[in-house]
Structure 1
Amino acid sequence: MNRAAILLAGLGLLVLVSGTALYTLLGERPECDVSSAVGATIGGPFELVDREGDLVTDVDVLNHPALVYFGYTFCPDVCPFDMARNALAADLLAEQGHDIALVFISVDPERDTPEVLGQYADDMFPEMVALTGSAEQVKAAARAYRAYFAKGEGSGEFYLVDHSTFTYLMFPGNEFGAYFRREDTAEGIAETVACLVES
């Protein structure tokens, strides 16, 4: 074998070994089962009011991974179910050592005062971050998340609010991870969130 062939074979082997070592050290990013919003930016800056009546921003709230949901406390069926499911997902994740915040943003600022939200959070999930604000603040937050809501017909305090029902996984810095639909289970959400957090 001539010298050039030995040198080329040696270089090829070096590249192969180096590439394999780098791949092993960095690890393969797992394929997580996620729903992504193609072509849409989800999340962004917001200013809202927490259950204590204090003004908070996205930076204050999204300081670790969070499941963000837009709903309202007078919702008769959808919101309680979705939030109970999200709370169960957060519990399952906590059992795996993952600290996931539950964030509930009201789309009914007229009725959902900080006090009402505080009671709702205590009943549903005491650690839940419950947020409201002025009509403009809520609209701006919903716009950032591409969340839809519209006040329905009704008299006085007896009205419904039509709204989208996605749950968003957000990371610090307004980084969007995934969204979950109503039909997604707590177990499925926990599995996807754990996969994304660990990657």
Structure 2
Amino acid sequence: MNTRLLALLAPLAVIACSPEAPPARPPLEGARIGAPFALTNQDGKPITDAAFAGKYRIMYFGYTFCPDVCPVDVQNIGAAMKLLDKSDPELAQRVVPIFVTIDPERDTPGVVKQFVSAFHPRMVGLTGSPEQIAKVAKDFAIYYKRGKGTPDGYMMDHSRQAYLMAPDGRPLALLPQEGPPQAIADEIKRWAK
């Protein structure tokens, strides 16, 4: 065979023999997670999911009186957003971290505002009536239940996940809850285009 022809065909042979990985698909693609919602923001104003249209959303459900897990998770989300602010400011501006309380009886707009402002300046806190919270929690497959205790000292049992949602509201991926904030930032970069 002609050496010149062999030199031209060799790269094609390597490409043809290398299995090409299929394009990555978001792990939650097609999942029935999320739906339109109407809640109250940290400033006491009504807000719907339409206010976040065109933005990637991190949806985290918890409560401000949580003694350990929620503050750590929200702190990690806020730290991941600060990493994105530095490494990819354009992408960071297209991501809205959202904290939704599952304890609306105690988590008034003012309480939620104080909580989210401690973690990231663009973090949005949402609350609502018990019925509104029950609906949004169900739509996002969030389990929660008031635990035993006194009226001022009860705990809330709840599932623990942070969803990355697409600009059109579709679910893309679960964000890692364990590990460093960089892992959250990396997962956002992986799926947010």
Same fold (TM over 0.5): yes
1:142 corresponds in structure 2 to 137
Answering whether residue 112 of structure 2 is matched by residue 117 of structure 1, we say yes
1:183 corresponds in structure 2 to 178
2:187 corresponds in structure 1 to 192
1:86 corresponds in structure 2 to 77
1:129 Cα offset (Å): 0.4
In structure 2, relative to structure 1, the CA distance for the partners of 1:181 and 1:196 (3 Å cut) is: closer
Deviation sequence 1:70-120 (CA, Å, 0-9, x none): 000000000000001101111112221212211000000000000111111
Which has the larger Rg? 1
Structure 2 Cα separation of the partners of residues 172 and 38 of structure 1: 13
Structure 1 Cα separation of the partners of residues 67 and 53 of structure 2: 28
SS of the aligned residue for 1:31 comes to coil
Aligned residues: 169
2:67 corresponds in structure 1 to 76
Residue 182 of structure 1 aligns with an amino acid whose one-letter code is Q
In structure 2, relative to structure 1, the CA distance for the partners of 1:195 and 1:39 (3 Å cut) is: closer
Answering whether residue 158 of structure 2 is matched by residue 160 of structure 1, we say no
Structure 1 Cα separation of the partners of residues 189 and 61 of structure 2: 22
% identical equivalent positions:
37
1:67 corresponds in structure 2 to 58
1:42 corresponds in structure 2 to 33
1:30 Cα offset (Å): 5.6
1:133 Cα offset (Å): 0.1
Deviation sequence 1:160-197 (CA, Å, 0-9, x none): 00111100001222111101242253212211211212
1:39 Cα offset (Å): 6.9
Structure 2 Cα separation of the partners of residues 51 and 144 of structure 1: 21
In structure 2, relative to structure 1, the CA distance for the partners of 1:61 and 1:195 (3 Å cut) is: same
Task: Provide the aligned C-alpha RMSD in A.
Answer: 2.0
1:122 Cα offset (Å): 2.0
2:49 corresponds in structure 1 to 58
1:31 corresponds in structure 2 to 24
* Residues 149, 162 of structure 1: 8 Å contact kept: yes
2:128 corresponds in structure 1 to 133
TM-score by length of 1: 0.78
Structure 2 Cα separation of the partners of residues 152 and 85 of structure 1: 25
